[in-house]
Structures are given as structure tokens and as C-alpha cells.
Amino acid sequence: MSQNLQVFKFGGASLNSVERIQNVGEILKEMKGQPLVVVVSAMGKTTNELEKIVQAHAEQNGQALTLFEDFKRKSFETCLGLFDESHEVFVSLNDALVEIEWVLEEEPHENYDYTYDQIVSVGEIVSSIIVSAYLNEQGLPTRWLDARDIILTNNIYRAGWVQWKETQENADRIAKPMISSQAFVLTQGFIGTTSENFTTTLGREGSDYTAAIFSYCLDAKSMTIWKDVPGVLTGDPRLFDHVTKLDLLSYKEAIEMTYYGAKVIHPKTIKPLQNKSIPLWVKSFIDPQGSGTYISDEVADNYPPLVAVEKSQALLHISTRDFSFVAEHHMSHLFKMITEHRLQVNMMQNTAICFSICVNDVDDKVSAFSQAIEDQFKVIIDRELELITVRHYQDKILEELRADKIVLLEERIRETVQMVLKNVPVMKRK
Ligand code: ASP
Ligand code: MG
């Protein structure tokens, strides 16, 4: 059975309204009678909304319950657009939402990331309850699977690491027997569990990765990510005018592109697929018949320039307080601190007296890190920067990207150029 299995992933944008959920139903009608695992993320921008609830609760600023009521109302409205008032989905929905209420009734937990995962994960649970009930109504029988029964992670909240051995065992024991041509299996992206049964999440946009974990563990014949773009593009269409779709892409190129910040697929997605040679389709839920992008082994590596942009970057220039060289023992201390503060380093450079790193400027991680090393090192921080990576570059493209910007750091390795850029401050008129 399972050699015919396919795995589909539907992200927030494909589920952000009653019409879009109905559209997903239309796409899935074509799959009726075939073994399929469907992975859904939270609807629309739910995850951002739930993040705000977590923050409000932590700050005890009195907003958490109001924000929660908003989310609750929206979820009920979506259901009312799809079902009669008497439908049993409302009971399941209530049961899912009450989990948030319980957390909000408690004092904030000392571990913010723990609370985050307990609250934010409900977005995926709610979404999967609604989609599953809808598909059942449409004559597409669906079996609901709690991804937390399958995906075991370590205890790092908000960035759980998959424990592959146990996850594979759970998949064999629980998920495999559920696969049939009679009913789809429907589960959630993004979430997992610790060995003590606390919910974890895999990091933002992690649902793609979930779909890859299921594809790997269940030996799927292919995986498909349904998106609001026609496939993998040569750049972000929100930032650039002339982007084109790639019909074919190798795993290697896809890994490089996503690692450098191309937002189309979560960076961890490709590796599990590559390990089992499971091809990945990226297709448009708006134009499901479109040709999409096919990512696999069997692709000639010949590409146009591909551009990935990471915003909200900080560049840290770190030097010793006594003007001595930044030596190996300093480096080892710095890397230890980088790990402890969970900074994500995108680029680094070392000169005799200065060690520079470009990192994602999220939460207050950068300040916390620089405070922690301040006694030994002088740190200068440049913020609000962009990191642009161009694979298969041509000089003309680099010129265009650099226009009106200051290049703070640049590196070329073979086919890849990375530049940390700052906008030129606009002169004020008198
Ligand atoms: N809902 C989560 C997020 O928005 C996971 C995902 O969509 O992949 O990050
Ligand atoms: Mg998403």
C-alpha cells in the first residue's frame, strides 16, 4: 500500500477563508481513492495572532483574553461558513480552544518558549479539526491523526529536534495501519511532543518539515507542497519584478536556496526527502493543474541567478577589549555563547582584530548575547540590515541589488555571493 502513498501539505494561505478551504476540498476530490496523508498548518495568519496572545499573557498586560476571544470568534465564524450550527465540529473546536484558556488562567510560566508551544500549537489543532470535518462532509472520508502521537522531539521548545528513531517507530505502529485507499489521513504540521508528553513546535513555517518527516517515515512516493505561487521562483515576487518559475530543481540547489532564506520551503524539508529519493512538487493551489516545480535528484544543474533576501539582520563587530588579536580561545568562547543564546549565524568573517557575524535579529537575542560577552569584548551592532544571497550570479544582477545601498560585508564562494546591505539614509530636505 504505502509505495503509492502521497503526502500533501497545505499551508496557512491555502486555508485562510471559507472559500480557500472549499478549494482544498476540490483539490482533494481528485485524489479520492488514493492513499494520502494531508498535513495542514494553522489557517491564515493564526500563528502570528497566537504569538500575540502568548506575549500578552507573559507581560500580563490585560490583552490576552481579548485577543483570545478574537481568535475564538474567527474560528467559529469559519465553522459557521462551512457547517450547520448543530454540527459536532463545534464540540471538538471548543475542546481544542479550552486548552488555551487553561494556560491563560495560570500565572505565566517561567519558560516563555514552553508556554508559546502550548498555546501556538492550538492553531494547527483547530485547523485540522475544521478541515477534517469539512472533508468528511464532502464525501472525502478522513481519519484525524494527532501529529504528537508520531513526532517525538527533544525538550527545546519552539525549535524541537526530531528524535528520528522513536518517530519512525510511532509512524510504523500508529500511522502506517491508518493508511488506506478508503480514507485520507489528516494531521497537523509544525507540532510534536516531548517524551513527557508536552507539546513542542518545530520552528516557524515548520509544517513543510512535518510533511517531509511523514514522507520519510512512511516511504511516500512523492510529496507536494501547495502554495499561493506557481512553484519555486527565481526570487521573491513581493520584492522583485522579473521572477520566473523553475520547472526543475535539484535537492542540492533547493537546500542551498532555502538555507539562504528563500522563503518558499522550510530549509529542513529537503534532507529527509533526499535521503530516500522522494521527489517534491511545489504547486499552486490557485492553479492546481499548473506544472509547478519538481525537485529531485535527476536534474541537470544549470540555473538562472536565484536571489534570496533575509530581512531583519544584525551585524555584530566583536573585538577584544585589549586590542589583542581575536584568537582561537576567544572564538571557542564566542561560539559557546552563540549556541547558548541560540543565535542563528548567517555569515561570518574574521580579521586580525575583529570577528564579524551576521545574525537574524529576533526577539532580544542580539542584545542578550552582546551583554553576556561585554566584559571581555567590545561589540558594535548594526541593525535593520538585509542579507542578500545570489546563487549563479551575474555581475549585472549584483549591481542592481547593490544600487542605493551600502555593502557592509560581502563574500563570494564559487557560485554564491552574499552581501549584507544597509539602506542609504535619505538626506533630509531643509
Ligand atoms: N503555522 C506555523 C507558522 O505559521 C507553521 C507553518 O505554517 O508551517 O509558522
Ligand atoms: Mg505557512
> How much distance in Å is there from the Cα of 46 to the middle of ligand 1?
9
Given strand 142-144, what is the order of strands in its sheet?
A: 142-144, 184-188, 36-40, 6-10, 222-227, 280-284, 293-296, 248-250
Confidence of residue 262 (pLDDT cuts 50, 70, 90): confident
Say how many Å lie between the CA of residue 209 and the centre of ligand 2. 11
Judge whether residue 294 has pLDDT over 90: yes
Ligand 1 atom at shortest distance from the alpha carbon of 190: 5
SS3 56: helix
**Residue 399: exposure state from Cβ atoms within 10 A (0-12, 13-18, ≥19):** exposed
Average pLDDT over residues 361-371: 93
**Summary mean pLDDT of the chain:** 94
Of ligand 1's atoms, which has the minimum distance to the CA of residue 266? Answer: 8
Residue 263 pLDDT: 77
Q: CA distances (Å), 174 to each of 183, 226, 315, in order?
A: 15, 26, 46
Ligand nearest to the CA of 47: 1
Nearest CA, atom 8, ligand 1 = 205
pLDDT higher than threshold 90 for residue 355: yes
Q: Answer whether 368's CB lies under 8 Å from 341's CB.
A: yes
Q: List pLDDT tens digits, range 160-170.
A: 999 999 999 99
Residue of minimum CA distance from atom 5 in ligand 1:
205
Rounded to an integer, the average pLDDT of 265-286 is 96
The per-residue DSSP string of 344-377 comes to: -EEEEEE-SS-EEEEEE--TTHHHHHHHHHTTTE
Cα 10 to ligand 2 centroid, rounded to whole Å: 8
DSSP assigned state of 343:
-
pTM confidence score: 0.89
Query: Is residue 39 very low, low, confident or very high in pLDDT (cuts 50, 70, 90)?
Result: very high
Q: In this predicted structure, what is the pLDDT of residue 154?
A: 97
Pocket, ligand 1, Cβ cutoff 6 A: 11-12, 41-42, 47, 123, 189-190, 204-207
Ligand 1: centre distance to CA 320 (Å): 40
Q: Domains of the chain (ranges plus CATH)? A: 6-227 (3.40.1160.10), 306-423 (3.30.2130.10)
How high is the pLDDT of residue 430?
46
- Distance in Å, CA 198 to ligand 1 centroid: 19
pLDDT tens per residue, range 218-250: 999 999 999 999 999 998 888 888 889 999 999
pLDDT higher than threshold 60 for residue 142:
yes
Pick the residue with more confidence: 232 or 258?
232
The CA distances from residue 291 to 29, 246, 258, 309, in Å, are 19, 10, 21, 25
Count CB neighbours of 108 within 10 A.
15
